[in-house]
């Protein structure tokens, strides 16, 4: 064997090993997806093993031009699109931190002159969509989660305004999210989430920002309160107008509102879920959820009374439903002929007590005593009767046997 | 057949049918009611599924309740007929003797008394059941009405009556079902399988043990006879109109029970979220920074020739066509910002050996002078690239 053959064999072996390593690392690892849809996995798969890329320009070449402010690309439909990259923001971004190269995503651009835009790109939106499939090279878990989402369904149905990755995560500026147990933990980042959603859902954002939750998250930078993704999930955002979402929603609210370690801080009751489930509305909703989760129903869930995005404190004088007249208006949405006595038929999540609801409390107390007393009395007699039967049998007697069955007629 | 096996007629057919109707409606009410009280247990869920969902289950519960009420009305009218027209004894009325009988039976069971009480047509175990059933009927009908018609109820009573009614309805139901299992099942199924409610007959031995006093009265012929046919007809003329009025009133009550109100809307409620979902802040989502000023059009061209200098024309032309990339440090180390840096890329007087001219003539550069503009630059270089 010549020296040349040895060298080429070793080289080939090394190449095969490198490819196998690359395949193993790129293979999607099993990962936990939390119930609320938050992906509990690293944001990216390991970067592909870099092959020497002599032909591809590095970032300094691209940024040589693209760092200059005010650069725009005019698209065939007349849209102007900024093609300036803010180098400071990019350097601080998740991609910049990982030293990603422009050409890792912009694979079609390898030098000057840039290739002509494909005919499919007529607008700035088309340009964004051109890169739709780029993210999954590194973010396979997230892109497959998105595939089940209401956004992906809207897109598939032909609505090209439905967001793709880059609409929420600007690839040039998106910083690494701080995630623990599937939840964003950084108060500043939590406060940013709603701003991202607001790009398309600004009317809902306006409701949310003045709600108890929104003011806490964005104003107080309170990490206990929910941001958009806390309830809707992150990538696999489900359609919130379906019957299934509605039926399952009390549990969603209950996730936090039964957690004493959060609620105690704000003096909020953790019995709200159990008291809801125990009453007519909650019982029906829970039964539907368990027996026919696709069932459309007009029975109310938490947000029908408390508000959806514009939830206020129940003590709020204008809309808070602890105020009786506000509650009556809420009741009348489904019970149009309800009178002013009617709201009290719902015990406002309170457990019966002798001060607030004496009638309910004492009726319950009555049955708590009455039922065991009656059954106990019956039980004692039945036991005595069984005892009597055995006692008499033991003696060979037939209890109370007719001694003289003769009747006058016979 | 021995004497002790001889059968005595105990229940006429109508009573047996009444019992059967009660048995079916009570069982149905319990079977469809308790799963609503204990809604989240796995047994309840299985029953709810069996009925095809909670709405069907509630409907069956309501139908069974109406049957139970109709049976109660029939029973009341029938009782009136028996007591007034036929002058029967009110054998179901509780008395002191029942309490004494119960106590004596208890002592007898314990071996503390030698004699078992001799009891009438209905003994204390049966009276307890009958009157418990009547009490249960009244409580369940009253609270059931409140739950079925909460708005009509709260028009008169405070709202608190509804949750109180719910607790009473559930508590009474639990008591009734457990009492039936403990008391009724024991006395007529376990202790001795008593078939008289189905066959209508009971033998003398059983009569002696359970209705000894009645048996003696029968044997002695002490049961009072019914009035004569003529007397019954006379009484019927009084009873019949009253019975019709009472029946209609009670039936009207049942009709009101079922139709008093439409508690809630039957359509889906208005959407909880009223604001539109899609209200974009910009016309289309813009992932990159919003575009700023468009590329500056070339400044007024003062024309070629001798008056075309760096300051007068060339500077603006370079800025417009090269400034996008070749600004500041400049792509490829070339900055078109200043006369001095441009001068490094040209050879005054010799356009053919000036890099700017060769690159531009080759074409395909991202920033490309038009032919007219390039001519001006060439002429400017030929003229020595004057600054002023």
Taking only the tens place, the pLDDT of each residue in A145-180 is 999 899 999 999 999 889 999 999 999 999 999 988
8 Å CB contact between A53 and A102: no
Torsion of CA B95, B99, B100, B105, to 10 degrees: 130
Q: Which of B155, B205, B281 sits opposite A202 (nearest CB)?
A: B281
| pLDDT at residue number A394 | 63
What pairing do the DSSP bridges indicate for beta strands B7-9 and A80-82? Answer: unpaired
| Cβ pair B151:A337 closer than 8 A | yes
| pLDDT at residue number B12 | 93
Q: Smallest CA–CA separation between A202 and chain B, in Å?
A: 5
Closest CA to B66 of B139, B145, B175: B145
Q: Which of B3, B39, B264 sits opposite A334 (nearest CB)?
A: B264
| Cβ pair A161:B171 closer than 8 A | no
For residues A66 and A68, what is the distance between their CA atoms, to the nearest angstrom? Answer: 5
Question: Residue B127: its chain A contacts at CB < 8 A?
Answer: none
Question: Residue A335: its chain B contacts at CB < 8 A?
Answer: 151, 263-265
Q: Of residues A40 and B6, which shows the higher confidence score?
A: B6
- Name the pLDDT band for A300 (thresholds 50, 70, 90): very high
| Owner of token pair 């598939």 | A156
Q: Cβ contacts of residue B298 below 8 Å, gap of 6+?
A: B316, B317, B320, B321, B373
Question: Would you list the DSSP string of A41-73?
Answer: S-SSPPPPPPPP-TTS--HHHHHHHHTSTT-EE
Q: Please say if the pLDDT value at position A258 is more than 90.
A: yes
Whether B92 has its CB under 8 Å from any CB of chain A: the answer is no
Q: Where are the beta strands (DSSP E) in A125-282?
A: 179-180, 183-184
For residues A124 and A76, what is the distance between their CA atoms, to the nearest angstrom? Answer: 9
Lowest mean pLDDT of A113-122, A134-143, B53-62, B370-379, name the range.
Answer: B370-379
| pLDDT at residue number A48 | 53
| Cβ pair A382:B291 closer than 8 A | no
Whether B209 has its CB under 8 Å from any CB of chain A: the answer is yes
Q: Is B333 left (phi over 0), alpha (psi -120 to 50) or beta?
A: left
| Cβ pair B49:A291 closer than 8 A | yes
Q: Which of B49, B167, B271 sits opposite A364 (nearest CB)?
A: B167
End-to-end CA distance of chain B: 145
Q: Highest mean pLDDT: which of A2-16, A72-86, B236-250? A: B236-250
The three-state (H, E, C) secondary structure of chain B, written as one string: CCHHHCEEECCCHHHHHHHHHHHHHHHHHHHHHHHHHCCCCHHHHHHHHHCCCHHHHHHHHHHHHHHHHHHHHHHHHHHHHHHHHCCCCCCCCCCHHHHHHHHHHHHHHCCCCCCCCCCCCCCHHHHHHHHHHHHHHHHHHHHHHHHHCHHHHHCCCCCCHHHHHHHHHHHHHHHHHHHHHHHHHHHHHHCCCCCHHHHCEEEHHHHHHHHHHHHHHHHHCCCCCCCCHHHHHHHHHHHHHHHHHHHHHHHHHHHHHHHCCCCCCCCCCCCCCCCCCCECCCCCCCCCCCCCCCCCCCCCCCCCCCCCECCCEHHHHHHHHHCCCCCCCCHHHCCCCCHHHHHCCCCCCCHHHCHHHHHHHHCCCCCCCCHHHHHHHHHHHHCCCCCC
| Cβ pair A113:B54 closer than 8 A | no
Whether B59 has its CB under 8 Å from any CB of chain A: the answer is no
CA distances from A228 to A205, A209, A301 (A): 9, 11, 19
Q: Which of B182, B218, B323 sits opposite A378 (nearest CB)?
A: B182
Q: Please say if the pLDDT value at position A39 is more than 60.
A: no
- pLDDT, average across residues B293-315: 59
Torsion of CA B317, B320, B321, B326, to 10 degrees: 110
Q: Smallest CA–CA separation between B59 and chain A, in Å?
A: 14
- pLDDT, average across residues B33-45: 94
Residues B250-296 have pLDDT tens digits of 999 999 999 999 999 888 877 778 888 888 887 654 544 444 444 44
Closest CA to A100 of A54, A52, A48: A48
Q: DSSP letter for A201, please.
A: B
Q: Please report, rounded to a whole number, the percentage of residues in chain A having pLDDT higher than 90.
A: 65
Whether B261 has its CB under 8 Å from any CB of chain A: the answer is yes
Residues B354-369 have pLDDT tens digits of 888 888 877 777 777 8
Interface test with B, best of A131, A275, A287, A346 (most B CBs within 10 A): A287
Whether B282 has its CB under 8 Å from any CB of chain A: the answer is yes
- pLDDT, average across residues B113-122: 91
Q: Please say if the pLDDT value at position B351 is more than 90.
A: no
Sign of CA dihedral A308, A314, A315, A317: positive
Q: Cβ contacts of residue B64 below 8 Å, gap of 6+?
A: B24, B25, B28, B29, B32
- pLDDT, average across residues A7-31: 59
Q: Which of A296, A335, A387 sits opposite B151 (nearest CB)?
A: A335
For residues A280 and A258, what is the distance between their CA atoms, to the nearest angstrom? Answer: 20
8 Å CB contact between A399 and B116: yes
End-to-end CA distance of chain A: 129
Q: Smallest CA–CA separation between A358 and chain B, in Å?
A: 9
- Name the pLDDT band for A402 (thresholds 50, 70, 90): very low
Residues B123-149 have pLDDT tens digits of 999 999 999 999 999 999 999 999 999
Q: Which of B221, B289, B325 sits opposite A65 (nearest CB)?
A: B325
- pLDDT, average across residues A66-78: 84
| pLDDT at residue number B224 | 85
CA distances from A222 to A212, A320, B278 (A): 11, 22, 27
Mean pLDDT of all residues in chain A?
Answer: 85
Neighbours of B343 (CB within 10 A): 14
For residues B163 and B167, what is the distance between their CA atoms, to the nearest angstrom? Answer: 6
- pLDDT, average across residues A63-81: 84
Whether B110 has its CB under 8 Å from any CB of chain A: the answer is yes
Please report how many Cα atoms fall inside a 13 Å half-sphere around the Cα of residue B241, on the Cβ side.
3
Instruction: Reply yes or no: is the peptide bond before residue A113 cis, omega within 30 of 0.
Output: yes
Interface test with A, best of B175, B291, B327 (most A CBs within 10 A): B291
| Cβ pair A113:B102 closer than 8 A | no
Q: Is A400 left (phi over 0), alpha (psi -120 to 50) or beta?
A: left
| Cβ pair B159:A400 closer than 8 A | no
For residues A120 and A127, what is the distance between their CA atoms, to the nearest angstrom? Answer: 9
| Cβ pair B175:A72 closer than 8 A | no
Question: Residue A367: its chain B contacts at CB < 8 A?
Answer: 167-168, 171-172, 175
For residues A217 and B288, what is the distance between their CA atoms, to the nearest angstrom? Answer: 26
Mean pLDDT of all residues in chain B?
Answer: 87
| Cβ pair A338:B53 closer than 8 A | no
For residues A285 and B54, what is the distance between their CA atoms, to the nearest angstrom? Answer: 10
For residues A404 and B339, what is the distance between their CA atoms, to the nearest angstrom? Answer: 142
Greatest Cα pair distance in chain B: 153
Residues A354-385 have pLDDT tens digits of 999 999 999 999 999 999 999 999 999 999 99
Q: Please say if the pLDDT value at position A101 is more than 70.
A: yes
How far is CA A152 from its chain centroid? 16
Question: Residue B154: its chain A contacts at CB < 8 A?
Answer: 338-339, 341-342, 344-345
For residues A348 and A275, what is the distance between their CA atoms, to the nearest angstrom? Answer: 9
Residues B191-220 have pLDDT tens digits of 889 999 999 999 999 999 899 999 999 999
Q: Smallest CA–CA separation between B229 and chain A, in Å?
A: 26
| pLDDT at residue number A8 | 67
Neighbours of B126 (CB within 10 A): 21
| Cβ pair B154:A339 closer than 8 A | yes
Q: Which of A124, A206, A342 sits opposite B284 (nearest CB)?
A: A124
What pairing do the DSSP bridges indicate for beta strands A80-82 and A72-74? Answer: antiparallel
| Cβ pair A342:B151 closer than 8 A | yes
Q: DSSP letter for A219, please.
A: I
8 Å CB contact between B242 and B83: no
Tokens representing A13?
């072996």
| pLDDT at residue number A152 | 95
Q: Please say if the pLDDT value at position A55 is more than 70.
A: no
Residues A268-286 have pLDDT tens digits of 999 999 999 999 999 999 9
- Name the pLDDT band for A47 (thresholds 50, 70, 90): low
- Name the pLDDT band for B230 (thresholds 50, 70, 90): very high
| pLDDT at residue number B54 | 93
Residues B159-179 have pLDDT tens digits of 999 999 999 999 999 999 999
Neighbours of A148 (CB within 10 A): 15
For residues A277 and A248, what is the distance between their CA atoms, to the nearest angstrom? Answer: 12
Interface test with B, best of A249, A328, A357, A363 (most B CBs within 10 A): A363
Q: DSSP letter for A209, please.
A: H
Question: Residue A389: its chain B contacts at CB < 8 A?
Answer: 191
């Amino acid at each position: 064997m010549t020296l040349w053959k040895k060298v080429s064999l070793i080289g080939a072996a090394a190449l095969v090993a490198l490819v196998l390593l690359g395949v193993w690392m790129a293979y999607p690892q099993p990962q936990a997806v939390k119930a609320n849809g938050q992906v509990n996995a690293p944001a990216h798969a390991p970067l592909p093993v870099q092959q020497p890329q002599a032909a591809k320009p590095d970032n300094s070449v691209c940024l040589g031009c693209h760092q200059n402010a005010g650069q725009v690309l005019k698209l065939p439909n007349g849209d102007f699109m900024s093609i300036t990259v803010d180098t400071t923001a990019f350097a601080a971004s998740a991609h910049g931190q990982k030293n990603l190269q422009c050409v890792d995503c912009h694979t079609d651009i390898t030098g000057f002159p840039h290739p002509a835009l494909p005919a499919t790109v007529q607008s700035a939106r088309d340009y964004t969509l051109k890169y739709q499939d780029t993210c999954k090279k590194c973010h396979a878990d997230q892109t497959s989660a998105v595939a089940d989402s209401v956004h992906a369904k809207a897109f598939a149905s032909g609505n090209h305004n439905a967001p793709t990755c880059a609409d929420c995560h600007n690839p040039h500026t998106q910083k690494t999210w701080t995630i623990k147990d599937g939840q964003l933990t950084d108060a500043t980042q939590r406060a940013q989430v709603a701003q991202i959603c607001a790009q398309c859902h600004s009317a809902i954002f306006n409701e949310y920002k003045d709600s108890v939750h929104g003011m806490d998250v964005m104003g107080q930078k309170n990490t206990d309160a929910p941001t958009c993704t806390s309830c809707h999930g992150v990538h696999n955002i489900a359609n919130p107008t379906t019957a299934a979402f509605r039926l399952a929603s009390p549990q969603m609210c209950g996730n936090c509102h039964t957690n004493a370690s959060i609620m105690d801080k704000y003096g909020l009751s953790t019995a709200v879920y159990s008291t809801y489930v125990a009453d007519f509305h909650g019982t029906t909703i829970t039964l539907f959820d368990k027996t026919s989760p696709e069932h459309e129903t007009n029975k109310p869930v938490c947000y029908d009374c408390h508000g959806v995005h514009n939830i206020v404190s129940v003590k709020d004088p204008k809309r808070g439903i602890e105020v009786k007249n506000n509650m009556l208006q809420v009741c009348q949405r489904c019970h149009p002929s309800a009178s002013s006595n009617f709201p009290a038929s719902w015990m406002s999540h309170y457990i019966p007590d002798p001060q607030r609801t004496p009638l309910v409390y004492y009726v319950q107390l009555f049955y708590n005593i009455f039922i065991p007393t009656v059954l106990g009395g019956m039980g004692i007699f039945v036991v005595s009767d069984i005892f009597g039967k055995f006692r008499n049998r033991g003696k060979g007697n037939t209890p109370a046997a007719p001694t003289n069955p003769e009747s006058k007629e016979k | 057949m021995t004497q002790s096996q001889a059968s005595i007629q105990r229940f006429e057919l109508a009573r047996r049918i009444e019992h059967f109707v009660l048995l079916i409606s009570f069982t149905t009410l319990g079977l469809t009611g308790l799963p609503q009280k204990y809604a989240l247990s796995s047994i309840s869920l299985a029953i709810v599924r069996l009925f095809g969902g909670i709405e069907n289950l509630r409907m069956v519960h309501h139908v069974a309740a109406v049957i139970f009420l109709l049976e109660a009305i029939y029973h009341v009218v029938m009782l009136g007929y028996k007591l007034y027209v036929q002058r029967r004894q009110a054998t179901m009325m509780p008395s002191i003797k029942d309490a004494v009988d119960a106590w004596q039976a208890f002592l007898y069971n314990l071996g503390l008394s030698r004699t078992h009480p001799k009891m009438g047509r209905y003994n204390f175990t049966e009276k307890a059941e009958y009157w418990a059933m009547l009490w249960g009927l009244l409580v369940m009908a009253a609270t059931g009405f409140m739950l079925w018609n909460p708005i009509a109820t709260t028009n008169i009573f405070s709202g608190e009556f509804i949750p109180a009614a719910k607790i009473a309805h559930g508590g009474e139901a639990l008591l009734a079902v457990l009492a039936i299992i403990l008391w009724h099942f024991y006395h007529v199924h376990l202790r001795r399988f008593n078939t008289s409610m189905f066959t209508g007959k009971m033998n003398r031995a059983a009569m002696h043990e359970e209705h000894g006093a009645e048996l003696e009265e029968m044997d002695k012929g002490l049961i009072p006879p019914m009035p004569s046919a003529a007397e019954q007809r006379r009484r019927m003329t009084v009873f019949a109109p009253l019975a019709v009025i009472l029946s209609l009133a009670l039936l009207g009550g049942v009709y009101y029970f079922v139709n008093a109100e439409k508690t809630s809307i039957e359509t889906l409620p208005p959407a909880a979220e009223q604001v539109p979902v899609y209200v974009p802040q910009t016309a289309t989502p813009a992932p990159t920074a919003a575009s700023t000023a468009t590329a500056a059009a070339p400044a007024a061209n003062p024309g070629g020739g001798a008056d075309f200098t760096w300051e007068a024309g060339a500077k603006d032309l370079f800025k417009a066509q090269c400034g996008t990339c070749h600004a500041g440090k400049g792509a490829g180390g070339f900055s078109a910002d200043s006369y001095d840096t441009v001068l490094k890329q040209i050879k005054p007087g010799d356009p053919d050996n000036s890099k700017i001219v060769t690159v531009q003539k080759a074409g395909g550069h991202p920033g490309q002078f038009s032919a007219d503009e390039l001519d001006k630059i060439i002429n400017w270089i030929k003229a020595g690239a004057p600054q002023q």
